[in-house]
Amino acid sequence: LVRGPLMARLAALEANTPKAAPMIGKTSGKGKAKPVTAPFDRNIVVGTVIEADAGAVDQAVRLAQALQPDWDAAGVDRRAAALDKAADLYEAHSDELLSLCVREAGKTLGDAILELREAVDFLRYYAAEARRQFTPADPLPGPTGESNILSLHGRGVIAAISPWNFPLAIFTGQVAAALAAGNAVIAKPAGQTPLIAARAVELLRQAGVPADILHLLPGGGDVGAALVAHEGISGVVFTGSTRTARAINLMLAQRNGPIVPLIAETGGQNAMIVDSSALPEQVTRDVVQSAFQSAGQRCSALRVLYLQDDIADATLEMISGAMRALTVGDPRLLSTDIGPVIDADARKSLQDHSAALAASTLCKLPVPATQGDFVAPAIFSILAIGALDKENFGPLLHVVRWSADGLDGVIDAINATGFGLTLGVHSRIDTVIERVTARARVGNIYVNRNQIGAVVGSQPFGGEGLSGTGPKAGGPHYLARFATERTVCVDTTAAGGMRLCSPAN
Ligand code: UN1
């Protein structure tokens, strides 16, 4: 019902979208101009980006520092109102945002709709949480004659470094949380997806976020590094690889600025454990969705499926059959289930991995012979999760058979990767589910369902170990990490003269 007219509107937008999206901010675009092309067809130029340079970083941080105290002092109601208004504007401009998600990031329309929904949810959720947590509270309990108030304030200028796989949702979530908490923000979107970030910033500003409080600095790793190294940065929020998170930590430790937090959401080596009691149709549906939706380009995606020996053959036959019903291709077509991967580097790395495992291929889909960065979705057999030396961020699933090691052995092998993001478990035995949820060291466990698509506010998302620092995005503890706590203690007695030791002490 929704999709027919929507596709027509997207096609019209494609024809009419302006072809340039300059760097956003008072800082002028002196950097390199680069075309942004579509992952499904590199002949399609989606727009042009003017990348920032080191001078732009310094200028943006200084402007942001100057105005941030006013934004903090303006109060939570003003900040939350801007985020709520931005949510309305995102919805009002849905065609445009969806079109950009499809063309710039290569998302299917279904994925783009979910992404827009998540971005809007982040705006409304952090607005509501900020009102709850940043409104001055009642005094804390204490001695008569004094009032002790604990309050939360913005830390200063936050660097928000976001990934290409959720160019609208994660970008918006980071920025919204930092703004809600009273910070100014310098956002550095992924090099592959600057245009959608630019449109999001325009809408946030239209909603009432002052220009100097939110800057967008598109560019590559050099821009991110200059930003993190700047002494005016009071905190960093980052989603991306574990390797980059380590590099950010090192840079923060080595600079002369204040000691600041890093909030990082990084990689995964996500597994699903299926035992003999699981319902096969449900397992099939959830495995296919968890491994192949979004072309496997979610940090939550399923990478390693542990099937109990006695049901492995039958389950694999069903999964392969369901997989063969999927179509890989142009994400603008409603018939497409799996679009391209983000760029040529990602494609090559995934293709190399597939080539190395070619002899263990259990199922592989054909890909269109076009210009785009398509990777053949595939399932491989491996001996154990420890055989994988890295996260393979695409539509590649690995299967391990288990029984000899027992359930604890499987959980221990998964824990031993050091990653701890998502874990699926399919079983109808309560003690198995209890064992997994108690022993597995991961941030999000999904029981008898798929393991992607965490819902803001209901399923706070984030991992531990190599998968990130926490706190969880879309959860009640997230905003406080963007804030400083201040305790104000007031003597409320009438001027009582000098006392060196009062009964209260
Ligand atoms: C990511 O892919 O970088 O639950 C994290 C999910 C998403 C994952 C976002 N929230 O599938």
Q: Which residue out of 121, 166, 241, 290 has the highest number of ligand 1 atoms within 8 Å of its CB and is therefore the one to mutate?
A: 166
Phi first, then psi: what are they for 272, rounded to 5°? -130, 135
H-helix or E-strand spanning residue 36? strand 33-38
391 is catalytic: no
H-helix or E-strand spanning residue 33? strand 33-38
Given phi > 0 = left and psi -120 to 50 = alpha, else beta, which region is 262? beta
- Which of 375, 374, 381 lies closest to 359, judged by CA? 381
* Distance between Cα 453 and ligand 1 center (Å): 6
Residue 15: both structure tokens together: 């024809």
For residues 41 and 443, give the distance between their C-alpha atoms in angstroms, rounded to a whole number: 36
Is residue 452 in contact with ligand 1, taking CB distance under 6 Å?
yes
Given phi > 0 = left and psi -120 to 50 = alpha, else beta, which region is 114? alpha
Tokens 């092309």 correspond to: 37
Q: Ligand 1, closest atom to CA 473?
A: 10
How many residues are listed for the chain in this entry?
505
Phi first, then psi: what are they for 150, rounded to 5°? -105, 125
Tokens 């942001």 correspond to: 64
For residues 177 and 183, give the distance between their C-alpha atoms in angstroms, rounded to a whole number: 9
Q: Which residue out of 171, 300, 392, 444 has the highest number of ligand 1 atoms within 8 Å of its CB and is therefore the one to mutate?
A: 300
For residues 301 and 295, give the distance between their C-alpha atoms in angstroms, rounded to a whole number: 9
Indicate which residue of 129, 265, 363, 391 is catalytic: 265
For residues 505 and 43, give the distance between their C-alpha atoms in angstroms, rounded to a whole number: 75
Longest Cα separation, the chain: 87
Residue 343: both structure tokens together: 């760029």
Please state, as a whole number, how many other Cβ atoms lie within 10 Å of the Cβ of residue 500: 5
State the pLDDT at residue 253: 95
What would you report as the CA-atom Rg of the chain, rounded to the nearest whole angstrom?
A: 24
At 15 the three-state DSSP class reads helix
Is residue 174 in contact with ligand 1, taking CB distance under 6 Å?
no
Indicate which residue of 101, 129, 299, 391 is catalytic: 299
Helices 94-105 and 76-92, packing angle to 10 deg: 80
Give the burial string for 366-386 (b: 16+ CB within 10 Å, else e).
Answer: ebeeeebbbbbbbbbeeebbe
Helices 406-415 and 430-439, packing angle to 10 deg: 30
Looking at residue 338, the DSSP 8-state letter turns out to be B
Please write the tens of the pLDDT for every residue from 367-377. Answer: 988 889 999 99
For residues 442 and 426, give the distance between their C-alpha atoms in angstroms, rounded to a whole number: 16
Residue 306 one-letter amino acid:
Y
* Distance between Cα 473 and ligand 1 center (Å): 10
Residue 459: both structure tokens together: 């399923």
Task: Report the half-sphere exposure of 140 (CA within 13 A, side-chain side).
Answer: 10
Residue 90: both structure tokens together: 């995102």
Residue 170: both structure tokens together: 């994660």
For 399, counting Cβ atoms within 10 Å of its Cβ (0-12 exposed, 13-18 middle, 19+ buried), the class is: buried
**Cβ-proximal residues to 61 (8 Å cutoff; 6+ apart), any chain:** 157, 186, 227, 230, 232, 233
For residues 364 and 357, give the distance between their C-alpha atoms in angstroms, rounded to a whole number: 12
Interface predicted TM-score (ipTM) of this complex, two decimals: 0.95
Residue 56: both structure tokens together: 């732009």
Residue 496: both structure tokens together: 């009582």
> Are residues 80 and 131 in contact, defined by beta-carbon separation less than 8 angstroms?
yes
- Which of 233, 294, 241, 225 lies closest to 260, judged by CA? 233
Is residue 264 in contact with ligand 1, taking CB distance under 6 Å?
no
For 505, counting Cβ atoms within 10 Å of its Cβ (0-12 exposed, 13-18 middle, 19+ buried), the class is: exposed
How far is residue 271 CA from its own chain's centroid? 19
Helices 309-324 and 280-292, packing angle to 10 deg: 60
At 463 the three-state DSSP class reads coil
Tokens 């604890």 correspond to: 408
H-helix or E-strand spanning residue 353? helix 344-356
Which stretches of the chain score pLDDT less than 70? 1-32, 495-499, 501-505
**Nearest CA residue ID for atom 3, ligand 1:** 299
State the pLDDT at residue 28: 41
Tell me how many helices (H) and strands (E) the chain has: 14, 16
Tokens 């001695």 correspond to: 143
